[in-house]
Amino acid sequence: MARVLLIVGGGIAAYKSLELVRLLKKAGHEVTPVLTKGGEHFVTAMSLGTLAESQVHSSLWELKDEVEIGHIQLSRAADFVLVCPATADLLAKMAAGIADDLATTLLLATDKPVVVAPAMNVRMWLHAATRRNVQQLVADGVKVIEPAEGEMACGEHGPGRLPEPQDIVGWLEQNGFFGGK
């Protein structure tokens, strides 16, 4: 059983994070969701929290949350942090060390392994800035689940699709995130 801090970013693939939570829970893992302001446009805290059977955290400035479990503690209470979907914006902030909301602050404060599952339009994925940011994150020790290739929600074709939730679970398993390789 693993404890997963799941950060859901503001991309169209955020809907797949719901199925990911369902699969992780079914396999006996504990999921604590964090929804970014962008993510709130794509999935609701109600869906995420119900499937995770957990409170959903979304703001740095919730006094009740901060008193009950401070953001530093939240960033370390899991076995690993998974960002899924990881938007171009989140990757850029992570690479630059920006901490201007709950998700990015947790990512900077954590002492646990961090895995990102990027998903975005093919041009965004191939953009020099994103290439540079991903390279920086890899150098910083962040694990990257490579996006899949294919038809995108925007109608374009190429790399940038979020892999299917069962493939993400498979990747985590194969890479030892559920204990033992």
Ligand X SMILES: Cc1cc2nc3c(=O)[nH]c(=O)nc-3n(C[C@H](O)[C@H](O)[C@H](O)COP(=O)(O)O)c2cc1C
Query: Could you tell me the smallest distance in angstroms from the CB atom of residue 84 to ligand X?
Result: 11
Q: How far is the CB of 119 from ligand X (least distance, A)?
A: 5
Residue nearest to ligand X (CB): 38
Dihedral in degrees, nearest 10, Cα atoms 160, 161, 164, 169: 20
* 2/36 with CB nearer ligand X: 36
C-alpha pair distances (Å), 153 with each of 12, 26, 120, 125, 161 = 7, 27, 9, 14, 9
Reduced to 3 states, what is the DSSP secondary structure of residue 3? strand
Where do contacts with ligand X occur on this chain (CB under 6 A)? 9-13, 36-39, 87-90, 119-120, 124
Of 97, 108, 154, 174, the catalytic one is 154
Whichever of 3 and 41 has its CB closer to ligand X, that residue is 41
Q: Which of 108, 117, 115, 39 is nearest to 84 (CA)?
A: 117
**CB nearer ligand X, residue 53 or residue 132:** 132
Angle, nearest 10°, between helix axes 165-174 and 14-26?
A: 50
Residue 14 near residue 43, CB atoms below 8 Å: yes
Which C-beta is closer to ligand X: that of 115 or that of 119? 119
141-142-144 Cα angle (round to 5): 130
| 154 is known as an active-site residue | yes
In whole angstroms, the minimum distance from the beta carbon of 54 to ligand X comes to: 19
DSSP string, 73-92: HHHHSSSEEEEEEE-HHHHH
Closest CB 34 distance from ligand X, rounded Å: 10
Give catalytic residues, as residue numbers. 154
